[in-house]
Amino acid sequence: MDSRYLSVDQVAELLGTTARFPRRLIEERRIRYVKVGRHVRIPASAVEEFIASHTVEPVQLRRSGLRRAA
């Protein structure tokens, strides 16, 4: 058990959002979570996976290949 477990408020702070966003991710089952009694905890690794899977890399455009049609 290597992963740290975060509360909804801690995940919201980490993502820079309100607590509503991680709660919605949990409700829609878009992120892994653990129920501990009535408490919900999210593994730090699940937050890292969520961020990695939603990261969009920039596209490199070649200037010479883009020409306007006359």
- CA dist 44 → 27, 34, 52, 57, 62 (Å): 18, 11, 12, 22, 38
CA atoms within 13 A of residue 11's CA, in its CB half-sphere: 28
40, part of any domain: yes
Give domain status of residue 67, yes or no.
Answer: no
Question: Residue 49 has which token pair?
Answer: 């996976």
The average pLDDT across 59-69 equals 71
Q: In terms of pLDDT, which residue wins out, 25 or 62? A: 25
Q: Give pLDDT, residue 57.
A: 92
Quote the pTM value: 0.77
Q: Which domain holds residue 15?
A: 5-53
Comparing CA positions, the residue from 37, 46, 44 lying closest to residue 5 is 44
> Does a structural domain hold residue 31?
yes
Q: In whole angstroms, give the CA distance from residue 63 to residue 37.
A: 57
The tens digit of pLDDT for each residue in 7-50 reads 999 999 999 999 999 999 999 999 999 999 999 999 999 999 99
